[in-house]
Amino acid sequence: MNPYVDFSDILFNSEYSAIAWINGNNDYHNLRGSVKFYKTGYGGVLVVTEVFGLPDDADLLGAAGNEKSGFFAMHIHENGDCTIPFDKTGNHYNPYNLEHPNHAGDLPPLLSNNGYAFLVVYDERFSIEDIIGKSVIIHRNADDFMTQPSGNSGNKIGCGVIRRND
% residues pLDDT > 70 (the chain):
92
Cβ 134 vs Cβ 93: under 8 Å = yes
Task: Write out the residue range of the structural domain in which residue 125 sits.
Answer: 3-164
Residue of higher predicted confidence among 5 and 39:
39
> Measured between alpha carbons, how far is residue 130 from residues 44, 93, 144, 160 in Å?
11, 10, 26, 16
Residue 50: per-residue pLDDT: 98
Report how far residue 137's alpha carbon sits from residue 160's, in angstroms, rounded to the nearest whole number: 7
Q: What pLDDT, on the 0 to 100 scale, is given for residue 66?
A: 45
> Distance (Å, rounded) from C-alpha 3 to C-alpha 20?
24
> Structural domain tally of the chain?
1
Q: What is the CA radius of gyration of the chain?
A: 15
For residues 68-91, give the mean pLDDT.
92
* 3-state per-residue secondary structure call for the chain: CCHHHHHHHHHHHCCCCEEEEEEECHHHCCCEEEEEEEECCCCCEEEEEEEECCCCHHHCCCCCCCCCCCEECEEEECCCCCCCCCCCCCCECCCCCCCCCCCCCECCCEECECCEEEEEEEECCCCHHHHCCCEEEEECCCCCCCCCCCCCCCCEEEEEEEEECC
**CATH number, domain containing residue 75:** 2.60.40.200
Q: 120 pLDDT band (50/70/90 cuts)? A: very high
In this prediction, residue 103 carries a pLDDT of: 93
Residue 38's φ and ψ, nearest 5 degrees, are -115, 135
Rounded Cα distance, 10 and 14, in Å: 5
Q: What is the pTM of this model?
A: 0.90
Rounded Cα gap, residues 72 and 151, in angstroms: 11
pLDDT band for position 57 (cuts 50, 70, 90): low
Model pLDDT for residues 20-37, shown as the tens digit of each residue: 999 999 999 999 999 999
